[in-house]
Amino acid sequence: MTLAILWFVLIAILWIGYLALEGFDFGVGMLLKILGRDEKERRAMLHAIGPHWDGNEVWLLTAGGATFAAFPEWYGTLFSGAYIPLLCILLCLIVRVCAIEWRPKINSQAWRDRWDWAHTVSAWAPSILWGVAFANLVQGMRIEVLDMTTRQVVPAADVPAGTLLYGSSHQITGGFLSMITPFTLLGGVVTCLLFLNHGALFIALKTTGELSQRALRLSRRLGPAATAVTAVWAVWAQIAHSPNALSWLPLIIAAVGLLASMSASATGRDGWAFALHFVGIAMAVVFIFASMAPDVMRSSIDPAYSLTLTQAASAETTLIIMTAAAVVFVPGVLAYTIWSYKVFAKRINAEDIDAGKGGLHPTKVRDSAQPEALIGY
């Protein structure tokens, strides 16, 4: 049980890394056509996330892999039952990769505009869907225990609390539409607004001149809306769905972080504003996991059908091996991540970018004599 709790905490940390870091990538993508007024500014925005966006996605891969290894029943129940929204997120992530990588390959404004729109759409959709997904974990989903031989629902009274019932499996039986409720839709609005504000603060921090000031002004408008909507959703979640009084603590810290970020943004301290907003998102993720415990997937049909930590956890030997590997590799990953952000800490000036440079001329797409034209955003 101790190792299961440890890995539940570690998976929460991995999701903090993903949502707090990839969150500004999504925000920049959503704002690409809104904040960037010309080619120079849009390139500056892409340069700002260029060294980081693919590394930030590794947090998602690691979170998924850790869930599969440490809690296979959780992984199987969630990914099979929520297949449609998770597939939509995956497709958007694939399109976003293509949009970022292929945009600079051809020196044509029409080509770049098409990929910019693809990037924008593929940033908006996951930003909403992630909120809907996590809100479902807090609210509970239509989960039942099915006998895998007969495909019949096992009576709730026959489901043991501490172990899995032999020959049965937890299944999401409600379908896709059962995941769409006012609470989960509001969760989608929460992550969308938080990521928008996170992206605006990141651009304000990473660029100079008019683009930076415009991003900071946008953040001053987004911040109050994001904070207010997050507060409404979090209090609703705590009162209606959380069995743990301790989850008030990360909720309060998240509120303080978001409010302090607004104050720093109002006084032009963009570095502090971004850091405090990071803390706010991190504590919001902690709140989500704290409000779920001791379940990893809560059933809205009957609490007996909820998938608990002990039911979902792998064998102790597996968790021991995973813990040993984490002790060896996680510090190095964290050190490298911090180092990479330090190396690429310099601000970007949109005026220094040559908007006409880069990419092959449309008539020479098949000409292999210009490989240097394929480099850069």
pLDDT tens, residue by residue, 332-352: 888 988 999 999 989 999 888
pLDDT tens, residue by residue, 189-237: 999 999 999 999 999 999 999 999 999 999 999 999 999 999 999 999 9
Is 82 inside any structural domain? yes
Average pLDDT of span 313-321: 92
Residue 60 in this model has a pLDDT that exceeds 90? yes
Residue 125 in this model has a pLDDT that exceeds 80? yes
Residue 3 in this model has a pLDDT that exceeds 80? yes
What is the distance between the terminal CA atoms of the chain, rounded to a whole angstrom?
Answer: 48
Say if residue 45 is exposed, middle or buried (CB neighbours under 10 Å; 0-12, 13-18, 19+).
buried
Query: Which residues form the domain of 268?
Result: 1-315
Distance CA 288, CA 238 (A): 9
Residue 122 in this model has a pLDDT that exceeds 70? yes
Q: Is the dihedral of CA 13, 220, 340, 120 positive or negative?
A: positive
Residue 369 in this model has a pLDDT that exceeds 60? no
Task: Report the CATH number at residue 63.
Answer: 1.20.1630
Distance CA 238, CA 247 (A): 7
Residue 377 in this model has a pLDDT that exceeds 60? no
Tokens of residue 251, six digits: 């909720």
Is 145 inside any structural domain? yes
pLDDT-based confidence at 367, cuts 50/70/90? Answer: low
Is 280 inside any structural domain? yes
Locate the DSSP E strands across 126-229: 143-147, 168-172
Is 186 inside any structural domain? yes
The whole-number pLDDT of residue 208 equals 93
Residue 375 in this model has a pLDDT that exceeds 60? no
The whole-number pLDDT of residue 370 equals 54
Is 376 inside any structural domain? no
The whole-number pLDDT of residue 150 equals 83
The whole-number pLDDT of residue 62 equals 92
Average pLDDT of span 319-338: 90
Residue 362 in this model has a pLDDT that exceeds 90? no
CB 156 within 8 A of CB 143: no
The whole-number pLDDT of residue 95 equals 95
If you average pLDDT over each of 108-112, 189-193, 241-245, which comes out highest? Answer: 189-193
Looking at the structure of the chain, the number of domains it has is 1
Query: Which residue, chain included where needed, has tokens 């979640």?
Result: 237
CB 4 within 8 A of CB 316: no
The whole-number pLDDT of residue 233 equals 97
Is 192 inside any structural domain? yes
The whole-number pLDDT of residue 371 equals 54
Is 332 inside any structural domain? no
3-class DSSP assignment, residue 365: coil
Rounded to the nearest integer, the mean pLDDT of the chain is: 90
Residue 21 in this model has a pLDDT that exceeds 80? yes
The whole-number pLDDT of residue 195 equals 97
